[in-house]
Structure 1
């Protein structure tokens, strides 16, 4: 039965992959060292959320994700774990759903609220209404991570890409790209890997 489930999950990933995982135009948006503009987006509780709201934050894990992409679903528990580990250290997760709900109804605001309640999200889950924020960042997939460091000039982009090197099995991860980047940032040491290829579903625009 587990084998059948694994095969089914793999097939589902293949189907979603056909929607643009490997066929992206040249990346646009922020690069490493750029200062990311703030945004104001609606959270699942109806409140507007801005990075300026987090006065004591040292940085942010801005993660473009959604309800429907199987890659995003596979990473949900790891995203929750990232927030649990780093929020108290000053680097909270800010999750943003970039998909157009008219094209992907399962990513509607109401569906976001349901999913966040089911998974007990401990972080803001924001809707990129009008799809204005994700192009600024250059996000192309879900999930797609942008690590920002707050400094005197603004929120500097320090890492862009994947959460780790194994979307299929968290127990088989060898390279924890995001954790390594955040740990280095917080310790004031060099981030060795600043850019990786995010594996996921194409954003539905």
Structure 2
């Protein structure tokens, strides 16, 4: 998916057992989709930051979805029950969805976990890639790419750097 492309609506099962549709988030001023997982050390390091960002921008009408599309037969930590455990562990306030078919993460063009996709109010992709510049230690972060992009998107402004390569683990594709 390229910058400026429109999000195709989809629905996936969340860790609550309910199906979540992007149509349910059509009233949001911007939509953040985080392609992530449980097993990857980089993804694990970012979970608290993603939860914090979601809470920080909730009043600004930012919608957030996390999607795990990894093949759980390769990485059992990415199974649905383990996803449910992670939601409880980190008190995740947004839907964590399972993309069993891997169709949605393929549509997005995701390559790594975590990798973020930010859509404006018209559901055009305005930013994709990295969350910040220091996954290993939040205290050493110098550039908050995603947070800056969210601010610009919520203000209806063009983002200066719409793509920053993400750092993390490769997606575990099904054979």
TM-score (norm 2): 0.96
Q: Are 1:67 and 2:38 an aligned pair?
A: yes
Q: Is the 8 A contact 1:162 1:177 kept in 2?
A: yes
Partner SS state of residue 103, structure 1 = coil
- Deviation of the 1:145 alpha carbon: 0.3
- Deviation of the 1:173 alpha carbon: 0.8
Q: Choose which of 160, 179, 190 in structure 1 pairs with 2:147.
A: 179
Aligned to 1:33: 4
Which structure's CA Rg is the greater one? 1
The runs of 4+ residues in structure 1 deviating greater than 4 Å are none
Aligned to 2:117: 146
CA distance in 2, matches of 1:37, 1:54: 13
Give the alignment's Cα RMSD to 1 decimal: 0.9
- Deviation of the 1:55 alpha carbon: 4.0
Structure 2 unaligned segments of length 5 or more: list them.
none
How many residues in Structure 1 have an aligned counterpart in Structure 2? 173
Compared CA separation, residues 59 and 130, structure 1 to 2 (3 A): same
Structure 1 unaligned segments of length 5 or more: list them.
1-29
Q: Is the 8 A contact 1:67 1:112 kept in 2?
A: yes
TM-score (norm 1): 0.82
Deviations 1:55-92 (A, max 9, x none): 42011110000110000001011000110011221112
Q: Are 1:162 and 2:130 an aligned pair?
A: yes
Aligned to 1:8: none
